[in-house]
């Protein structure tokens, strides 16, 4: 187990009609404390989303997903979260909210490469 670090992840779900509770997985958030690493990887399947709600605001959903990626990236793209460390940004992003883009429950794992793990999870759980 040498060289492997604990990481946490959560799915990003798009819930176009809150009252129905239906969702489409649209991304993953990955945080690794040992590497001070946080990232979001997103992929929006517009067809699946429109099947749940033909009137969904695709541009608004894309903007919300892009904002999550910006918070993870830090710097100017993170807005008010820019001075926060990776862990604080992750915790803010996984806080429950009642918006169209919502985080799912947090899960954990072990990895030697959190960047590659984010891509693996995106392929496995979203694409």
Query: Of the given ranges (34-38, 40-44, 84-88, 111-115), which has the lowest mean pLDDT?
Result: 84-88
Query: Measuring CA to CA, which residue among 90, 75, 98, 82 is closest to residue 33?
Result: 90
Full residue range of the structural domain in which residue 50 is found: 5-125
Mean local confidence (pLDDT), 56-75: 93
**Span between the terminal Cα atoms of the chain, in Å:** 29
| pLDDT for the residue 83 | 86
Mean local confidence (pLDDT), 86-96: 93
pTM confidence score: 0.91
Confidence of residue 2 (pLDDT cuts 50, 70, 90): low
Residue owning tokens 């009609």: 17
Q: What digits encode the pLDDT tens for the residues 10-43?
A: 999 999 998 888 999 999 999 999 999 999 999 9
Average confidence score pLDDT of the chain: 93
- HEC secondary structure over 63-75: HHHHHHHHHHHCH
DSSP per-residue string spanning the chain: -TT-EEEEEEEEEE-S-TTT---EEEEEEEEEGGGTEEEEEE---HHHHHHH-TT--HHHHHHHHHHHHHHHH-GGGGGGGTTS-HHHHHHHHHS---SSEEEEEEEEEEES-HHHHHHHHHHHHT-
pLDDT of 47 over the 70 cut = yes
Domains in the chain, number: 1
């Amino acid at each position: 187990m040498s060289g492997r670090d604990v990481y946490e992840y959560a799915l990003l779900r798009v819930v176009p009609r809150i009252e129905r509770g239906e969702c489409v997985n649209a991304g993953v958030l990955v945080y690794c404390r040992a590497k001070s690493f946080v990232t979001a990887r997103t992929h929006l399947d517009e067809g699946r989303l429109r099947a749940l709600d033909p009137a969904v605001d695709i541009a608004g959903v894309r903007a919300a997903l892009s904002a999550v990626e910006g918070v993870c990236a830090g710097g100017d793209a993170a807005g008010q979260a820019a001075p926060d460390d990776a862990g604080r940004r992750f915790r803010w992003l996984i806080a429950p909210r009642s918006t169209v883009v919502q985080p799912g429950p947090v899960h954990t794992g072990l990895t030697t490469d959190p960047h590659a793990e984010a891509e693996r999870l995106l392929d496995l759980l979203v694409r």
